[in-house]
């Protein structure tokens, strides 16, 4: 059995053990499903309600993806700007940290005020949640580029753009992907946050109305869906990462035999 | 004060590099460090100049001046008849650290200057699969790296990386090659092997070379001329031609004439060090 396979089996076993323990504890302690439903109940709910849930899942998914895509664009541009210039870095950093310290729950009502309830505040909240880690990672990656690497190109007469495209950005890719995996999950948090506050569609909205109806299994079903979507997105970026920045991990399957 | 080039260049060969009273001072007023005293240095085309001296004497500063990475605080630096500015010069550089980009294969690393330097970059998109690729492979074969084009830098040994580094420095046929202790981090045998490779490359292409080193044997083996620098603030205290016939061999470095040259330069450096500490 290979190491990778064994590791995957262990991970699967841990997840399984988690749910089994949960199920057993609920049964043993006779916990009401109004407090904590058993995993089997949640899965049954998921199965039965799926036709109703499906449009909400899609809604949450596409708002998140749009917010995330915008967040990546904004994050990369700002990160590249402040990472390549010391002055821009020192000037813009306090403002950015200030902005990222604001609890995003607090800005949702403002977005709603401007754009009305619906998908727009959700997209914007997702964007606001996810762009900061990308900015920080891109800026750090660019700012820590070894000067010798750039000197080689500078002595050839390379422009700032040449340096950015040939040294700065490729070198920053491992940082970028690390931040994407964080940003993707943050984007989900942002979307659901906005949906719970002001929307009539989406998983956040489903969970909100389910909890006010004391339909606790449905609330948990929403959590399960979000966790699953988060993991799925994470996996997607891990796969892309492995292909793009394999050099940083010295993967042996890159080497010509 | 910029000297009139026509006056200071009589019937001699064209100067590839000319420093006139060029000096470098780092830092703000109050905490100024003079890295290089105003220096005059003229390097003819096709010369192989070895700059030796104790560490921190400003050898690398001279290289950075010539490459345009550092601006002189005073005086002028003229390369190929023009004052060094930020604009593109046909220069090849190699440092002690090979600085190959870890995300590119050896082939793509060596090809990089063709992607940046005019006039090659103009044709890069069209020729990178054909003509330029052949050129890179021929260059790799020259330094004994055939068959490693598709390896990544981390798969090669230090000596092989340095060979690839020399390839990259020469791939765009620079008329001026700047080497900053490129063999400094290698073991003795690999180093001597690479001296041979370097000599072959120089004989084949005859670029002007400035080699910064702290190894007198290396300077004597490769150079057509050796300049000795004093400790900080740096200045040139000795300038001697090296006339041993080429191609030179490692055996030559054990002959009395070579050892005598070595010994003389050694004494110059040591006495310069004592002047500073005294």
Does A170 contact B at CB distance below 8 Å? yes
Give the start-to-end residue ranges of the domains of chain A.
57-243
- The answer, yes or no, to whether residue A21 has pLDDT greater than 90, is yes
pLDDT digits (tens, 9 = 90+) for A178-205: 899 889 989 999 999 999 888 888 999 9
Report the percent of chain A where pLDDT is more than 70: 96
pLDDT digits (tens, 9 = 90+) for B123-168: 777 777 788 888 899 989 888 888 899 999 989 998 899 999 999 9
CA distance, residue A153 to nearest chain B CA (Å): 7
Does A171 contact B at CB distance below 8 Å? yes
Q: Which residues pair with B176 in a beta bridge?
A: B91, B208
Residue A164 confidence (pLDDT): 87
Query: Across the interface, which of B95, B101, B172 has its CB nearest the CB of A167?
Result: B101
- 3-class state of residue B71 by DSSP: coil
ipTM higher than threshold 0.85:
no
DSSP A164: I
Contacts (Cβ under 8 Å, ≥6 apart) of B100? B106, B109, B153, B161, B164, B165, B168
Report the percent of chain A where pLDDT is more than 90: 47
Residue B87 confidence (pLDDT): 55
Q: Do A155 and B68 touch (CB under 8 A)?
A: yes
Does B68 contact A at CB distance below 8 Å? yes
Does B270 contact A at CB distance below 8 Å? no
pLDDT classification of B6: cutoffs 50, 70, 90 = very low
CATH superfamily, region A57-243? MetI-like (1.10.3720.10)
Domains of chain B: 36-89+175-277 (3.40.50.300), 103-173 (no CATH)
- The answer, yes or no, to whether residue B247 has pLDDT greater than 90, is no
Does B67 contact A at CB distance below 8 Å? yes
Q: Is B81 left (phi over 0), alpha (psi -120 to 50) or beta?
A: left
Contacts (Cβ under 8 Å, ≥6 apart) of A8? none
Among the residues of B103-181, which ranges form H helices? 106-116, 120-127, 131-142, 158-170
Does B99 contact A at CB distance below 8 Å? yes
- Best probe of the A interface among B67, B98, B112, B174, by most A CBs < 10 A, is B112
Question: Could you tell me the two tokens for A13?
Answer: 């076993």
pTM value? Answer: 0.75
Residue A158 confidence (pLDDT): 83
> Which residues on A lie below 8 Å from B77 (Cβ)?
none
Residue B11 confidence (pLDDT): 47
- Report which of A109, A82, A104 is spatially closest to residue A93, judged by C-alpha positions: A82
> Apex CA B136: angle with CA B133 and CA B142, to 5°?
145
CA distance, residue A220 to nearest chain B CA (Å): 44
Does B132 contact A at CB distance below 8 Å? no
Q: Do A166 and B116 touch (CB under 8 A)?
A: yes
How high does pLDDT run on average in chain B? 84
Residue B9 confidence (pLDDT): 44
Query: Across the interface, which of B95, B113, B172 has its CB nearest the CB of A148?
Result: B95
């Amino acid at each position: 059995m290979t190491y990778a396979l064994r590791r995957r089996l262990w991970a699967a076993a841990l997840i399984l053990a988690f749910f089994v323990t949960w199920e057993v504890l609920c049964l043993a302690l006779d916990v009401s499903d109004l407090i904590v439903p058993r995993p089997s109940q949640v899965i049954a709910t998921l199965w039965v309600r799926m036709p109703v849930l499906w449009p909400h899942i899609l809604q949450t998914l596409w708002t998140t993806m749009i917010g995330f895509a915008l967040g990546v664009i904004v994050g990369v541009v700002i990160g590249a700007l402040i990472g390549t210039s010391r002055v821009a870095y020192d000037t813009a950093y306090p403002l950015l940290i200030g902005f990222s310290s604001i609890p995003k729950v607090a800005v949702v009502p403002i977005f709603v005020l401007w754009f009305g309830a619906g998908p727009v505040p959700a997209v914007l909240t997702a964007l606001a949640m996810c762009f900061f880690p990308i900015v920080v990672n891109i800026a750090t990656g660019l700012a820590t580029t070894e000067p010798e690497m750039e000197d080689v190109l500078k002595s050839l007469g390379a422009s700032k753009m040449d340096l950015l495209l040939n040294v700065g950005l490729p070198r920053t890719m491992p940082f970028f992907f690390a931040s994407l995996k964080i940003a993707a999950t943050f984007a989900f948090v942002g979307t659901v946050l906005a949906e719970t506050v002001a929307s009539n569609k989406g998983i956040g909205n489903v969970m909100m109305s389910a909890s006010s109806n004391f339909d606790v299994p449905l609330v948990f079903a929403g959590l399960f869906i979000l966790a699953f979507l988060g993991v799925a997105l994470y996996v997607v970026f891990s796969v892309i990462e492995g292909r793009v920045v394999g050099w940083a991990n010295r993967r042996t399957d890159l080497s010509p035999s | 004060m910029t000297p009139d080039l026509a006056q200071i260049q009589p019937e001699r060969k064209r100067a590839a590099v000319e420093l006139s009273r060029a000096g470098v001072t780092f830092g703000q007023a109050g905490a100024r460090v003079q890295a290089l005293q105003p220096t005059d240095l003229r390097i003819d085309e096709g010369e192989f100049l070895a700059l030796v001296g104790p560490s921190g004497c400003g050898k690398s500063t001279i290289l950075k001046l010539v490459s345009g990475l550092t601006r002189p605080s005073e005086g002028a630096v003229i390369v190929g008849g023009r004052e060094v500015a930020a604009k593109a010069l046909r220069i090849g550089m190699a440092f002690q650290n090979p600085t190959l980009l870890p995300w590119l294969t050896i082939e793509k690393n060596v090809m990089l200057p063709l992607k940046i330097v005019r006039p090659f970059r103009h044709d890069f998109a069209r020729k990178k699969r054909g003509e330029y690729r052949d050129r890179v492979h021929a260059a790799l074969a020259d330094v004994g790296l055939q068959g490693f084009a598709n390896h990544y830098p981390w798969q090669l040994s230090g000596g092989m990386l340095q060979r690839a580094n020399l390839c990259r420095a020469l791939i765009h046929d620079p008329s001026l090659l700047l080497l900053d202790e490129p063999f400094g981090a290698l073991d003795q045998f690999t180093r001597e092997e690479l001296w041979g490779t370097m000599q072959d490359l120089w004989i084949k292409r005859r670029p002007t070379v400035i080699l910064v080193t702290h190894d007198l044997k290396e300077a004597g083996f490769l150079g057509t001329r050796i300049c000795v620098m004093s400790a900080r603030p740096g200045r040139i205290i000795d300038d001697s031609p090296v006339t041993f016939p080429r191609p030179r061999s490692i055996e030559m470095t054990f002959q009395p004439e070579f050892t005598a040259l070595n010994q003389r330069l050694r004494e110059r450096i040591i006495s310069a060090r004592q002047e500073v500490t005294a």
